[in-house]
Chain A
């Protein structure tokens, strides 16, 4: 136990508004196209929707698809991409001991049922009895399972056969950071040989938009890069799914799998979020990994959400670190729990191509290091929690 092992990223699954997989994502950036956002469907709120797609490739049974809400389908799909990329898909002897940590949200509603109850209750003589009756009669039994947070992991077990272990972390952006941190630490310490870790979000739903607008978090009106959204800022909620396969070198080597990158470290912390707290938190975490970073060959993929004051606070901290910065949220939107895993996937892609995508917005900047060997990923939550991840080129 006292020996820490390297942790390899041997599989990546990513699906965002830019497309499916790292190749499509890179192609999008290479074309230099503008961010694909949607300011019409949920106006005045701006969202990043997935391109039209079929889930059949990763979720072949229609019956399975019917038992899931969209976020679960997106997550199960991305998990399947990662397992396929790692060469684990369809191999029960390996999946039998593949562990899993999922960062999840859940809580989807049946919007027509809710709307009818909200309308009917006003005229009801006994509101409590009316609510019971409508719920007993109108709720679909399967909705419960389609919106329970741990059922994304449950569906990954069912559809892909990942059954080593299954844990689900809750709690917005930090859940994604801590899921990866714990998964990395378990592999490094020999508590797991191979772990699937990631999450999914579904931004194109009124009910999820409502949850975040209660916290005043949504971007309204005119689209802008994450760094340039005005004094209050806001998130453009994104639908996305992102999973990584983390593996010990021994386990990967024994089955002939190669690393796409190394996940060298993940840190996280919380604070009261008073003035200056975010900068201090990021600086403290930077100190933890600073000795591992070669500043002339590293860059930052920022998970800045676009919401203020967190985004500006992160920007001030990043300025001190002095590395080139690219904020991915401008392009893929904000996928809450799934954002940190998604940025690790994008960081892996950038390392493989040896260069950054074009800057967008006033907080992006810096030239491509030659060569580019390390990526620091940030995850600063909309209302709590900060994290950093360090990935490295494997060759």
Chain B
């Protein structure tokens, strides 16, 4: 189906049913399917049991030699990874599995047809070293191979082993799921998964479609990816024991743990979901974003963009900070993020900040990078469903400068109607998603 910017008018399909419109008169957007894969397991029941149980998925890297690396741990999706899978293949595989789980739960569409577009947050792909090594061998059996030599054999190599393309995962998933129109692949660094949800929310609100498949997936733990984050001093180097390396909001936090995972949501106009009798798992009430012009890798120390991002999200959802019961933190476990996030939360929520529970899934699943926003939105929806707050584990040395209720170490039951999930990315791209159990 052709997608056009000159779409049907939003909200006109169900004009009489104002209960399906939000306070701003836009279609309410429901979640009717959730799929998730992390280092903790495949599927949401396994993931939720371990997340609520405070289990860490961080382990020693076994996929490649870690000689000479400062960081030798990661939270990889070993249950899905098979020998020598490149990041493009692994990311596609976990995106597909998460998408299938979400669609099966939703019951939307039919086999091979999803009635709406795909919004995908894949990792930024690159040609990988194993491919370069193979090409160099092919290009120069005995001599040395430079890039012009690789180019000489590239056409034959590509024909044999497949070409390298940025849009490949989105294209294959669109074909597999039968989504409509041009699949969007996007990147806003560590906020990508949340941006996928936001793009879907906006498309449904514009009336372009009734449903969107939003997926974030990242399966890119490779030596070079690890080295790059290492060179930016972003990763924890507390390799022993691996399970204790990710310790958001702790005084001794020293960086994030690189991770893999995928999160998928079926987004659907509430009217469409109700009309087909679908079970509504939650509502995406609003999204907010704000970019930062301070630095390429660091958040503005005044917290302004993060504060504006959360406020924009609450304004988009037409709710006040008082109406938020839980915060799913970005909480990377880097010294800087957690400090700035605390400052932002303290500013937006005022004196309530110290009392609102805020926990970081990354303490258990690490930082799933481009998938994080989608994976953590999925976990936030499960938090709403189970009325139980997943903990921030490894919280043994509280940082006195961050006086927050981080749900330390053990999950707890709570009444949670509305939650927000934060995602802040390199390059100053920040997104916040507001979710509720059911329409307010």
Q: Are B4 and A150 in contact, CB atoms less than 8 angstroms apart?
A: no
Whether the pair A268, B165 counts as a contact (CB closer than 8 A) is no
A121–B129 alpha-carbon span in the complex (Å): 11
Q: Which of B43-51, B170-178, B333-341, B395-403 contacts A (4 or more CB under 8 A)?
A: B170-178
Q: Given A167-B186, A265-B4: A132 and B69 within 8 A (CB)?
A: yes
Contacts of B1 in A (CB 8 A): 269
Judge whether B227 and A139 touch: CB under 8 Å. Answer: yes
Residues of chain A with a CB closer than 8 A to B163's CB: 214-216, 383
Contact with A along B1-33 (1 / 0, CB 8 A): 111111101111000000000001110000000
A284-B428 in contact (CB<8A): no
> Which A-chain residue is minimally distant from B118 (CB atoms)?
A270
Q: Return the contact of A128 from the options B11, B127, B184, B223 (Cβ within 8 A).
A: B223
Knowing A148-B426, A191-B206, A269-B1 touch, does A157 contact B293 (C-beta < 8 A)? yes
Q: How far is the CA of A111 from the CA of B147 in the complex (A)?
A: 8
Report the minimal beta-carbon distance from B431 to chain A, rounded to whole angstroms. Answer: 9
Say yes or no: A266 contacts B4, CB within 8 Å: yes
Query: When the two chains form their complex, are residues A144 and B232 in contact, meaning their CB atoms are under 8 A apart?
Result: yes
B106 lies within 8 A of chain A by Cβ = no
Q: Is the CB of A151 within 8 A of B69?
A: no
Q: Is A365 an interface residue (CB 8 A)?
A: no
The answer to whether B145 and A118 have CB atoms under 8 Å apart is yes
Min C-beta distance of A219 to chain B, whole Å: 12
Looking at A50-58, A175-183, A369-377, the stretch in contact with chain B turns out to be A175-183
Give the complex CA separation of A172 and B165 in angstroms.
8
Instruction: Report the stretch among B59-67, B85-93, B271-279 that lies at the interface.
Output: B59-67
- Give the interface residue-count category, chain A: 35 or more
Tell whether A166 pairs with B428 under 8 Å between CB atoms, given A206-B148, A384-B171.
yes
Q: Is B241 an interface residue (CB 8 A)?
A: no
Task: Choose from A140, A158, A164, A215 the contact partner of B164 (Cβ within 8 Å).
Answer: A215
Chain A residues with Cβ below 8 Å from B429 are: 150, 153-154, 166-167
Give me 8 A-to-B residue pairs in the complex whose CB atoms sit less than 8 angstroms apart, sorted by A's number.
A144-B231, A149-B124, A150-B189, A154-B296, A188-B5, A215-B163, A265-B6, A267-B4
Q: Which residues of A contact B (CB under 8 A)?
A: 1-4, 45, 67, 100, 104-107, 111, 114-115, 117-119, 121, 126-129, 131-133, 135-136, 139-141, 144-145, 148-151, 153-155, 157-158, 161-172, 174-175, 177-178, 181-182, 184-186, 188-189, 191, 206-207, 209-211, 213-216, 264-270, 272, 281, 284-285, 288-289, 292, 383-385, 387
Binding site for A on B (CB under 8 A): 1-7, 9-12, 24-26, 64-70, 122, 124-127, 129, 132-133, 136, 144-148, 150-151, 154-155, 157-159, 163-167, 170-171, 174-175, 181-189, 195, 199, 202-203, 205-208, 223-224, 227-232, 289-297, 305, 425-429
